[in-house]
């Protein structure tokens, strides 16, 4: 339940995406928050979603939802290409925004989102939920505490079996591609090690391959990065892999740590630590990273608590994504026109 004396969030949901149940509905129920409204392009889908998940009312359009004075937080799980336009619209309507990643289709649009967030004065956060789970916090603690020594190398891989050919993740007009859907996690996890590496990493090189039948859409991309302090990193993503793998390996001068599934740590909560003293396995808990995320977002909205993610961070990630696309021979994703 929500903290005693703290008002529940009043949340409106754009669309009826499959991810919403685990990313928002279950965490909202656990935190005692209200799902005030939902809207979808197909009203029938929205009505079904509302009935299944206890949403209080259905709106005819996304615009109507944004105009609802009782909706104070907008959750945006739409296709990638619709993140930017509807994030901008929600901010212009004075709403707090929790958006699925990435925040926009390209860096230019992400910069507009940053400006809109600053103008609105509301809370804006990109949904890199993994960052709030004790698994990732523990990886950072191992560096901060010195047990691993100085950072020398980080390797991230986020890969899944191929979605159906008709899946919007393969659509260039909807800003699809492996980096947009998966590589953003790989790159973000590398970026967030900057405090222990002398600053933010720069892209050294990237290579990738186009999806057959989907011109301009990346099936996989491997990126190499370098930090100012000399440490290096690889950020890999693959959207037609033989199995699901979402791993992070951090190597220091005194040891290394490995998280088998840093993106979905509630499915595998291990951190394996290897040093000269030996090897140990730490279990950090199977509470959902999405629940930790919504708790942190609510604490910011209601109490002004600090957040590690904001529109500036979203722009930095999107800039790196565009750099990867360019270096690998692709074009950054095009903008999508706003539609209800």
**What is the pLDDT, as a whole number, of residue 314?**
98
C-alpha neighbours within 13 Å on the C-beta side of residue 86? 32
The pairing of beta strand 245-252 with beta strand 232-238? unpaired
**What is the pLDDT, as a whole number, of residue 339?**
53
DSSP bridge pairs for 272: 258, 281
pLDDT tens digit sequence for 287-304: 999 999 999 999 999 999
For the stretch 198-205, contacts whose Cβ atoms lie closer than 8 Å and that sit 24 or more positions apart, written own/partner, are 198/227, 198/228, 198/229, 198/230, 198/231, 199/227, 199/228, 199/229, 200/227, 200/228, 200/316, 201/225, 201/226, 201/227, 201/233, 202/226, 203/320, 203/323, 203/324, 203/327, 204/232, 205/327
| Mean per-residue pLDDT, 53-73 | 98
pLDDT tens digit sequence for 30-45: 999 999 999 999 999 9
| pLDDT band at 337; cut points 50, 70, 90 | confident
Beta strands in 145-193 (DSSP E): 151-159
Residues 6 or more apart whose Cβ sits within 8 Å of residue 234: 154, 155, 156, 222, 223, 224, 225
**What is the pLDDT, as a whole number, of residue 4?**
54
pLDDT tens digit sequence for 16-35: 998 999 999 999 999 999 99
**In angstroms, what CA-CA distances link 176 with 173, 215, 296?**
7, 11, 28
Taking 90 as the threshold, does the pLDDT of residue 6 lie above it? no
Taking 90 as the threshold, does the pLDDT of residue 161 lie above it? yes
Strand ranges across the sheet with 34-39: 57-59, 34-39, 10-14, 73-76, 96-99, 124-126
The pairing of beta strand 151-159 with beta strand 124-126? unpaired
| pLDDT band at 340; cut points 50, 70, 90 | very low
| pLDDT band at 1; cut points 50, 70, 90 | very low
**What is the pLDDT, as a whole number, of residue 104?**
98
- The whole-angstrom separation of Cα 320 and Cα 189 is 12
């Amino acid at each position: 339940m929500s903290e005693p004396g703290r008002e529940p969030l009043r949340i409106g949901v754009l669309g009826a995406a499959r991810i919403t149940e685990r990313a928002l509905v279950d965490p909202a129920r656990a935190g005692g928050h209200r799902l005030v409204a939902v809207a979808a392009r197909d009203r029938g889908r929205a009505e079904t979603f509302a009935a299944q998940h206890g949403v209080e009312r259905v709106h005819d359009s996304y615009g109507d939802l944004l105009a609802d004075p009782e909706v104070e937080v907008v959750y945006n799980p739409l296709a990638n290409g619709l993140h930017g336009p509807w994030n901008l619209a929600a901010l212009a309507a004075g709403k707090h925004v929790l958006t699925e990643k990435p925040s926009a289709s390209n860096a230019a649009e992400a910069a507009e989102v940053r400006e809109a967030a600053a103008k609105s004065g509301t809370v804006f956060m990109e949904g890199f939920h993994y960052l709030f789970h004790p698994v990732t916090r523990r990886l950072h603690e191992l560096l901060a505490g010195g047990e691993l020594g100085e950072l020398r190398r980080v390797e991230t891989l986020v890969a899944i079996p191929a979605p159906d050919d008709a899946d919007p993740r393969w659509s260039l007009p909807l800003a699809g591609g492996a980096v947009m859907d998966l590589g953003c996690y790989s790159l973000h996890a590398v970026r967030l090690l900057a405090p222990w590496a002398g600053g933010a990493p720069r892209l050294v090189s990237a290579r990738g391959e186009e999806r057959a039948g989907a011109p301009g859409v990346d099936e996989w991309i491997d990126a190499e990065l370098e930090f100012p302090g000399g440490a290096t990193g690889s950020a890999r993503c693959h959207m037609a892999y033989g199995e699901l793998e979402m791993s992070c390996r951090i190597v220091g001068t005194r040891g290394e740590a490995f998280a088998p599934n840093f993106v979905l740590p509630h499915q595998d909560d291990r951190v394996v630590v290897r040093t000269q003293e030996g090897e140990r396995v730490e279990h950090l808990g199977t509470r959902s990273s999405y629940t930790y995320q919504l708790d942190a977002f609510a604490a910011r909205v209601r109490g002004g608590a600090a957040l590690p993610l904001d529109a500036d961070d979203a722009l930095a990630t999107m800039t790196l994504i565009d750099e990867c696309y360019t270096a690998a021979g692709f074009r950054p994703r095009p903008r999508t026109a706003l539609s209800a």
